[in-house]
Amino acid sequence: MARINGLDLLRATAMLMGVLLHALVLYLEPEDGSEPVLWIGMLFLWIHNWRMPLFFMLAGFFAALSLDRKSPMAFSWDRLYRIGFPIVLWWLIVAPIPLWSALRDGADLPTLDHLWFLYYLVLMYAVAVVIRPLIPTPIISLIDLSLRSRWMLLLWAIPITAFSIVGRDNGLFNIQPEYIGEIELGFFFFSLTFFCLGWRLFHHQNLFSTLASLWWSITALILALVALVSALSIWLAFDEELTSLASLLWVNGLSSCATLLSILGLTGLCLRLVTAPSKRLSFWVELSYPIYFFHGLVVFSLGDFFLETYWPAFGAIAVNTVASTVISILLYFVFIRYTPLGWMFMGYKKAWFRWSKLRWFYRGQKA
């Protein structure tokens, strides 16, 4: 269980980093035309480089865990209402009129905004349920050769680099979908590679003990930072336009290595930090998904206010991140925690609101 708890910490970190990332994005291209602050650009790029790939890897791991315990039908229903329904809920909150127009007139559905990854997750879960049983055992065995040791995991950088070339803008920025039905194939397969890595890691959890080595984690993170800075330097040296095959291979290769090494290093640190179940950790894991869901309502509004009032960048980003997190938590407790909507974010068995409680309350009233 300690291993699962360590990955839970990693999952909550990936979610909560999204709030900071979106607080930073407002300062990447200042409205006054000035150059962006170096530390903001570097912090944004570092988080952006590993956060969503890490999340897709964890999604693959926990999907394999869930399918190991549930039937494909039960798994599909669970993922539909926990991953698919929140997209509809978001539309009902921020875009009810466009949603109604889409349903009535056949127009485009509202944009996915920051929940685009849920759309891709639904597709990946469908791939897992439908295609997984059809994959020949020899192919799985061949893939699993890369999971014999922590260093052999670096072989995953080869397919990651290949899909990065067609799936990431200049090897550094995601090309993500804006609408349901839109699939950026390069980035989808780039993300699916991490999903598959997480899936196979579930079947090779013996690697976790070696990944949890402190020297390994620190070494991986240092190498990741060096690779990312090198990729950025080459990109800037080409004036942000990679026109030759060599420049594409160098930037995408270094960036992909940075992504993979960051993920493995952070995984090792979290596995080392969490050695036993914790109520505090469980609480933050519970909050992380709703915080990410709601923060989009807050972070950009506050960001515009700070920009208009000329707040210093550091103070604005810090206050925006904390305030957006706190307000999102309050929204969660008011609208989600004690209502049936909690089933989407925690699952029925872990939700506070359950029919059994209502029956108990009704019987108590009659007595």
Please give the structure tokens belonging to residue 256. Answer: 């992909």
CA distance 222 to 228: 10
Please give the structure tokens belonging to residue 265. Answer: 């290093």
Residues of the chain with pLDDT under 50: 1-2, 362, 364-367
Identify residue 345 by its one-letter amino acid code. Answer: F
Instruction: At 3, give phi and psi (nearest 5°).
Output: -65, -45
Choose among 27, 62, 59: nearest CA to 42: 27
pLDDT score of 342: 85
Tell me the C-alpha to C-alpha distance, in Å, between residue 244 and each of 29, 166, 229, 281, 341.
27, 14, 20, 47, 51
pLDDT score of 3: 63
The pTM (predicted TM-score) of the whole model is 0.92
Choose among 206, 218, 216, 56: nearest CA to 123: 56
Tell me the C-alpha to C-alpha distance, in Å, between residue 282 and each of 5, 64, 295, 331.
8, 21, 20, 19
Q: Which residues pair with 168 in a beta bridge?
A: 174
Q: Please say whether the dihedral angle defined by the alpha carbons of residues 154, 158, 159 and 162, taken in this order, is positive or negative.
A: positive
Helices (H), 132-277: 137-143, 157-167, 185-202, 207-211, 214-237, 245-273
Please give the structure tokens belonging to residue 308. Answer: 């208009």
User: CA-CA-CA-CA torsion for 158, 160, 164, 168, nearest 10 degrees?
Assistant: -160
CA distance 51 to 15: 8
- DSSP 8-state secondary structure symbol assigned to residue 329: H
Report the half-sphere exposure of 324 (CA within 13 A, side-chain side): 30
CA distance 247 to 284: 42
pLDDT score of 282: 85
CA distance 197 to 203: 10
Instruction: At 278, give phi and psi (nearest 5°).
Output: -140, 130
